[in-house]
């Protein structure tokens, strides 16, 4: 699995050439069912000199060994092992499921870094002490859907990601096309759903010695914006950004998120961790 992930990482472009040694590198980690190609709108909105990697997670895009994604620590270790040697200050940016891998990578990384959750959370499944999350029944519904028609699953996922957005119908069509152009393997989808159901990375969010931040959307149907209170309770120094749309609003309007990321990057390497 490491060999295949290395190929996926090395295939991602480093935007704007090489920055001076020690400059942060964005490592963009996509959501369930998508691939590194999904980041194209955001990458186009970032400053040209920004260093960017956008790998495919196991079982997604060009990466194989999808069953490995069920183990977040294994996936994070493989990701770290695949990074080019010039990456000395990664900023792990995880959208949706990718946020879990980002947090696990941050916990394993030894050196300067940063962590940004985009429409993501350290725990996706609702619990008594974590109310702003998905009910178990909704996660189980996705597992049932995995056994049915693939096109119907893709449309359903796209509609949920688009719900709450300013132009939800158009965005759902865009997301459906993205899912179909870069399809995830069945074992990657199955393992990714297991990861979403079982993972609890709250300790990583609370304890990682690095700047942390989160971007939340008011109309997100998958990660309730109300999770902000819980995130800030665990990490009072977190930089929190807010948008008015849904889970994938940045596909249509990436500029606000790009601006938030640029501000966060300016802190990395200068801001003292909590």
What single-letter DSSP state applies at residue 127?
B
Termini Cα distance of the chain = 34
Element housing 80 (H / E): helix 72-82
Q: Please identify every residue annotated as catalytic.
A: 96, 220, 247
Alpha carbon 61 to its chain's center: 15
H helix intervals, 113-226: 136-146, 150-162, 168-181, 186-198, 202-207
Are 158 and 172 within 8 A, CB to CB? yes
Determine phi and psi for 68, rounding to 5 degrees: -65, -20
Query: What is each CA distance from 251 to 20, 37, 66, 182, 228, in whole angstroms?
Result: 30, 12, 25, 16, 22
Are 88 and 187 within 8 A, CB to CB? no
């Amino acid at each position: 699995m490491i060999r295949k992930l290395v190929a996926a990482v090395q295939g991602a472009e480093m935007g704007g050439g090489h920055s001076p040694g020690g400059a942060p590198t964005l490592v963009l980690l996509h959501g369930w069912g998508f691939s590194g190609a999904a980041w194209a709108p955001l990458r186009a909105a970032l400053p040209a000199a920004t260093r960017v990697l956008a790998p495919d997670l196991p079982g997604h895009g060009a990466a194989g060994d999808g069953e490995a994604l069920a183990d977040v620590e294994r996936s994070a270790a493989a990701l770290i092992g695949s990074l080019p040697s010039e990456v000395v200050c990664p900023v792990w940016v995880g959208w949706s499921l990718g946020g879990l891998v980002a947090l696990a990578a941050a916990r394993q990384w030894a050196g300067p870094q940063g962590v940004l959750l985009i429409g993501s959370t350290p725990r996706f499944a609702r619990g008594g002490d974590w109310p702003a999350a998905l009910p178990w029944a909704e996660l189980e519904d996705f597992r049932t859907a995995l056994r049915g028609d693939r096109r119907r699953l893709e449309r359903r996922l796209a509609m949920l990601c688009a719900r709450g957005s300013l132009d939800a119908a158009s965005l759902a069509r865009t997301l459906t096309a993205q899912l179909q152009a870069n399809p995830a393997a069945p074992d990657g989808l199955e393992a990714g759903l297991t990861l979403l159901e079982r993972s609890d990375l709250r300790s990583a969010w609370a304890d990682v010695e690095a700047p942390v931040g989160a971007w939340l959307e008011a109309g997100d149907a998958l990660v309730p914006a109300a999770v902000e209170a819980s995130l800030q309770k665990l990490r009072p120094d977190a930089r929190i950004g807010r948008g008015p749309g849904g889970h994938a609003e940045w596909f249509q309007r990436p500029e606000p998120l790009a601006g938030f990321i640029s501000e966060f990057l300016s802190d990395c390497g200068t801001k003292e961790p909590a």
